[in-house]
Each structure stands twice: as C-alpha cells, then as structure tokens.
Structure 1
Amino acid sequence: MPTNFNSIIPFPLTIPGDFVTQNALSDPWTEPSPDYRVEDYPDLDRKCLFCTTTGVEIVRVKGADTDKFLQGQATCDIAAVNIDQAGRGAICTPQGRMISNFDIYRTGPDEIRLLLPQGMAEPTLTHLKKYAVFYKTELSLETGQRIAAVFGEGADQQITQLAGDANEHSAREIHRGRAIRIATDHWLLVIDPDAAIDLWRSISEHVIPAGDNLWRLNKIRAGLGDVVPQTREEFIPQMLNLQHIGAISFRKGCYTGQEIVARMQYLGKLKRRMYRLSINATAPPEPGTELLDSPGGRPVGNVVIAATAGENRIELLAVLTNEAATGGTVAIGETSLPFEVLAMPYDDDFDRAE
C-alpha cells in the first residue's frame, strides 16, 4: 500500500545508548560507520538507517541524442524516465547477456545519469562508446559526488522531509542533490560534496549510521541483484528477475540484445533464476562464487550478493537452476550448505507467470 504523505511527522526513534554515540558522527563520509551485528540488534529492520557508500559509480550521458541513443541500448523505456521518475534497466550484449544493470535518473532534457555497482562503470562505458559515435551524445565517468543510502522503516518519510514536499515521485530533488528510490523505503542519495555535511546534519537525528553489510542485506530482502565484475555477461536479464521490478520494457522498440530477451519472455523457458536463500555460515560468499549440487559436484548456479543476517547466518541472492532451488542443499567447493528459500516482494509475480 502506498505511503500516505499527506500528514508527515518526524520519524520517532527509540535507540540503544551506543547508537546515540555513533550518531554523533560529524562526517559519515570520512568517519567509518559501524557495521552493527544483526544478532545484537534484532529490531534494526524497524529502524531508518543511513549508509555512506563507495559501492556505486555514476555514468553521465549528455547530448541532443541522449534519449534516442539510450533507447537503443537499455532494456528499460527511456521515455518513461523524467525529472520526477527514476527507473532501473540493463545493458546487454547482442547475445542478451548483461554487461551491467543500473538505476537511472534524469538531470535535464538531454542529460541522464546511470548509477552502477562499483567496478561496472568502465565496462559499461567501453560498450556504449562503440555505439555512441553515431549519435550526438557524450559519455563520461562522473566523480566527486557524495553517495549514501537511506533505508529501512521510515526512509520514504525522511526523504519527503528532505525534499520539502509530499509527492510520491521516485526521483526527488533534495538539498543540492538527488534522491533516487530503488525500492520501498530504500533510497540512494547523490549529493554535491560541499552540501553533504549540511544534509547529514539535517537528517542525523532521525537515522542510524550503518555499514555496507546492512545495506546489502536490505537489497537482498528487496530482491535487488546486480551484475558485478565477477558476473559480467553471465546472466540474461530475466535470470536476475528484472522483468518483475520494471527494468525491462516489452513494448519499446529494438535495443541491443532485445531479440534474445523477448524470445525468452514469450517463447522460452527460464531454467535459472534468482532466489533468496538463507544458509548457515560464518562469512558471506563473494559475488560470482560458484554453487555446486554437492561437494565437488557439478555447477548449478552463482552467488549474486550476500550479507550477514545473524550469528552464523547468511542471506544471499543466488541464480540457481530451478531443480537445484528445490533440493535444499548446495555446496561451495567441498563444503555442503543446506539452505532455506526465503520470500521476496515479487514472489506473487512468479506464481502468475507460472
């Protein structure tokens, strides 16, 4: 159900005493934020958290042909991305394999930004520049911006207060920056560096600073997987469930890889897709880690993203064969890992598709 923004009140927090000390950070971009242990604070998922991150890169696309150019490259409908509405999409090879996926927002009539996982800007630029020579558009890596995530219960309300209005747009102008909603109660902030501290001061009393692990855990629970350097050109978009989060348009015209993506949607049977799993382990496996059907056995999938979710408990998104997802056990190397399949927000979409 959409949040009612008609009557916004400051989001109340009742937080442990050591949180108060940590909330006294004067500059969360230069002072390390604590990566709280989830098992110590089981109600963290009912708090609004703030995480600075170096795990996001920005590609700038600017020029008179920006929309036309990107419409022929991205899986999403660029025409639907306006100053108030952000989106998600992917860039594919002609064989339909994802080079990268991204969050996308507009900063002007002929100017767009792509937010990509760390390490993915350069391969994305290399691919796009092969086609950009035929268009009046320029591509570049944008550096210097401060990036943070605001997520957890009450995040939508916090962004509404920062924006100073009560609309429900997914791209919001905030204090000398932009807020981009990537899921309910989950936002990425892109801020001018000389305005970052003022923004932090305006929000610090209402959020808890946290580290990357809790940010990754929130993305996992939202069912948001990314292509990273270890998995580049490994997946087609449907393997990361992009069709269920509005990141693929099946009504727009042609784009690189479109024939393969459309054929899979309408004529093929997806043999692998992304699942959310819980396993007992002490450390999260790295993205791209190969999952086997048994110790030393045959490959059945790959880790997409993983995070600590409790003592000796890991949650992860993994692309698995449908058969392996019903087996209850996978292996990494010689280590057997029983798992539980957990719910994702768009599970009902799979039920309808099947």
Structure 2
Amino acid sequence: MTNTSQIQKNWLNNPSSLPCNLSQWGLILVEGPDAASFLQNQVTNSVLGLKRTFPGAMAQGFSAARLIGYCSPKGRLLASAWIGLFPSDEKAEDRFALFISKDIAASTAKRLSMYVLRSKAKVIDLSAEWTVSALYGSDQQISNYKLDNSYISLRMPDVLVNDQSIARLLIASPGNNAFNTDDSKDSFDAWNELEVLSAIPRIVQATQEQFVPQMINFESVAGVDFKKGCYPGQEIVARSQYRGAIKRRLHLAHFNNDGLNISEAMPGAELFHSKDPSQPAGMVVLSALNPGAPEQIDLQVECKLEALLDGEIHLGSTEGPVLKIDPLPYPLIEI
C-alpha cells in the first residue's frame, strides 16, 4: 500500500505558493456558435449545459468542469481531456477549453477539425502559444489564488491522501512564462503523484487506442454519459457497459524501484503475469516517483481481472519488478 504517511510528512503540508509548470499538458480551444453541438457529437460526456466560467473565475464542480474522452470508431480512446466553457465575456459566443496531454494535442485538434464540416465551430491547438501550469494545496489555498482575467482555470477533483483532501487547479495562460512558476522537480513530482493517486486516467501518445473507456474506469470517474446522443465508438462503449464485456480494469499499484529508471515504468509499458510470460496482462497508464519515498514508483495500471486472482504481476517481463496492487479511492460502477 502507498506510504501515504511518509508522503504527507515530506510534501503534502508544504505546497508551493507558485503554480508548477506542466510541460506535459497542452490546450485546445473549440469556439463558435455551434461549438457545443459539435462537441456533443464527438465526445463521451455531455457538454451541453456546462456552466459558463468568465475571466478571473475558475471552473469547478461537475456543472462547470468535466472529464471527456474522444474515441475511435472502434470505441478505443484516442484522447482524454478536462473541459470547461470559458467565453471571453457575458455576450461572447461559446469557447470550450480542453486541457489535454500535450503530445496528442495537435493530432486531436486536427482530427476534430476534420469533422467540423458545416458547423460554425473552430478547433485551435494553443499548446505552443499558451502555458499550462498547476497548483495544489488546501481548499482555501486554491480558492484564494488570484487569477488574472487572461487565464483559463479549471479545478480538478480533489485527491484524498492519508485522510486529507488535496485540491488541484489547472491554469492556462497566454504566452510562454506568462507568470512566475515553480519549476522545481519536487513540485513537478508532487503534482504527478497526486494525479496518479487520483486514479483518474489521462491518455498520452503511448496509450492511444489501447483502451475502451471502461477498461480504465472512465465510467466510474464520470467521464461517460450513457444517456447522451451518439459519438464515435458509442455503440461499442454502450455494448461493453450493458453486456458486461469488460474483463480489464484500471488499478493503483506500486513497486520498489531498486535502481530501475522511471523511464522503464512510463505509460505504455507492458505488464506480465507470472503464470503466462508469453503475452501481456496489462499496461501502465500513468506513473510517478513517490515524493515521500524515493525508492518507490506509483502507478496507474490497466490489467486483466483474472490476472489478479493469483500469481504475481510484473513490470516489463516476468523477470521485472513485482507490482503491489493498492485500493482505488472510489467504487467501480458494476457492469
């Protein structure tokens, strides 16, 4: 189990007062009179009725900030993102902001643009022009953070660590180095650790088209709306839900690295079961160095459910480190 008491001792109660620069995150804007209806037909979650968040405010709560997925026609996730509605003023047309992994932002924006057709909507990848940063701490620290009117900010779900709720805020600002940031490795590692411990997945280039949403618990973290209309892959996603076809799930795990480089535990790295070395049993979804225990690497992993019944799960090969499975911070929606 993750050594949360050590984590809290080392960094949980001493967050930076400055946002840390998230070099691995990008930003896509979808704007125009038809932006809402266009996105509604493309993504796994409903975007209709999202509360408008105006300059200087932060999108927070399910009414204003949601997790979405973008699937291939085969129902496999091409991307995931956090989305909010951020018009420039009360009279302006809709402008949706998608906080997304930077390594897939350009390809996702390009693919979305192919389906705009006659819709009055425009898809813009601003990942090279805007800086994405993040802040974590107590609810009061996040709520009191002063936001410039040029920023776009979205509050992600809190993470419970050692019975303490940690708030998280994503901030996008125009221009590189638009404001002072904490560029220390400690701050960056802390944010990544919180993201892993949230057990809310994020698709990166190495994991594109690897998962049907339920394989990484997307429906259990409010990333899928089964009552909305069609979107690419919707029939397969719905069939998986209602016919109970999912035999793989996202889990939290950790291992002692014993000199193993974090690069060997990056997203996309394969897992193997001790009794079946010939084929992968799963894949790393996200990983992070544990800030409170330098010898430990924490993971989100997608894995066959049957592989957890007996034997051991190894990273990389059956000769690799043995993973210890940790409890999820939320209940799974039963399929």
Inter-partner Cα distance in structure 2 for 1:339 and 1:126: 37
Residue 131 of structure 2 contacts residue 177 of structure 2 at CA under 8 Å; is this kept in 1?
A: no
**1:107 match:** 86
- The letter for the 2-side match of 1:186 is R
Distance 1:245 1:211 in 2: 25
Q: Which runs of 5+ in 2 are unaligned?
A: 54-63, 88-92, 159-166
Q: TM-score, normalised by structure 2?
A: 0.81
Q: Counterpart of 2:189?
A: 213
Correspondent of 2:22 among 53, 65, 78 = 53
Moved over 4 A (4+): 38-41
Q: Is the 8 A contact 2:131 2:176 kept in 1?
A: no
CA-to-aligned-CA distance 1:163-194 (integer Å, 9 cap, x gap):
5xxxxxxxxx6553122111210111112349
AA of the residue aligned to 1:283: N
Is the 1:51–1:210 Cα contact (8 Å) retained in structure 2? no
TM-score (structure 1 length as normaliser): 0.77
Is the CA contact 2:273–2:318 (under 8 Å) kept in the aligned structure 1?
A: no
Residue 148 (str. 1) matches residue 133 (str. 2) = yes
CA contact (8 A) 1:329 1:336 kept: no
Hey, what's the Cα distance between the residues in 2 that align with 1:145 and 1:106? Answer: 17
Task: Work out the CA distance in 2 between the residues paired with 1:247 and 1:193.
Answer: 30
Equivalence for 2:286: 305
Instruction: Provide structure 1 residue ranges, at least 5 long, that are not aligned to the other structure.
Output: 1-37, 164-172
Match of 1:316 in 2: 299
Work out the percentage of aligned pairs sharing the same amino acid.
25
Task: Map 1:216-235; keep pairs closer than 5 Å.
Answer: 216-235=192-211
1:331 is displaced (CA, Å) by 3.8
Describe the SS at the equivalent of 2:27: strand
Quickly say closer, same or farther: Cα 1:40–1:57, change in 2 above 3 A. Answer: closer
The answer as to 2:110 corresponding to 1:126 is: yes
Matches within 5 A, 1:87-106: 87-106=66-85
- Asked if residue 176 in structure 1 is aligned to residue 150 in structure 2, the reply is yes
The count of corresponding residues between Structure 1 and Structure 2 is 297
Q: Deviations over 1:70-112 (max 9, x none)?
A: 0000111111422241111010011111110001111224211
SS in 2 for 1:94: coil
Aligned position for 1:29? none
Partner of 2:162: none
Write the mapping of 1:246-285 to structure 2, written as runs, cut at 5 A.
246-281=222-257, 282-284=260-262, 285=265
Query: What residue is the counterpart of 1:292 in the other structure?
Result: 272
CA distance in 2, matches of 1:192, 1:257: 34
1:332-347 matched pairs, under 5 angstroms? 332-333=316-317, 335-346=319-330
SS at match of 1:338: coil
Preserved CA contact (<8 Å) 1:86 1:180: yes
Question: Does 93-102 or 294-303 show the bigger shift?
Answer: 294-303
RMSD over aligned Cα atoms: 2.6
The offset of 1:41, in angstroms, is: 8.0
